[in-house]
Amino acid sequence: MTESATDPAVHRTEITVRWSDMDAFKHVNHARMVTLLEEARIDWLGSVDPEVSAMLRNSVVAHLEIRYRTPLAHADSPLQVSMWLARVRSADLTVHYEVRAAGAEADSRPAVEASTQLALGDPYARTLRRLTADQRQMLAPWVRPA
């Protein structure tokens, strides 16, 4: 599902492609794309209510999926990353990303689509932690099915 430029559930950020992000074919390297998605997620966490950010700070990546539709190069920087919560469950949530080249229209086909399933953890007990109904409600403004 392509994001809408006016959807309040969608967080948008620009991520700069570094020369070291490129592979031998002059495309953004797969492992580096994972890092760029992480940078976008950190930007989102820095923009939300501090209580929401604190709640998600101890999450860990449980699953990652990336679909490359069009190669991205250094010249496509800064990448336009749109992201939202595609699903919130009792102990995890799924972040959906759409990545476009600089200057691409928000409703154009993304070059990259990705999702990250984040498990919520308790770092001291080393166990999963469940979201309360109030916490799920706090996340509701960013939920948009992928």
pTM of the model: 0.89
For residue 60, give the nearest of 92, 85, 98 by alpha carbon: 92
Q: What domains can be seen in the chain, in order of their start residue?
A: 11-142 (3.10.129.10)
Distance CA 105, CA 85 (A): 21
- The torsion region of residue 26 among left (phi > 0), alpha (psi -120 to 50) and beta comes to left
pLDDT in tens, 54-73: 888 889 999 999 999 999 99
Per run of 10 residues, the mean pLDDT along the chain (length 146 residues) is 70 95 93 96 90 86 97 95 95 96 93 96 86 92 84
Q: How many CB atoms lie within 10 A of CB 40?
A: 24
- Which H/E stretch holds residue 110? none
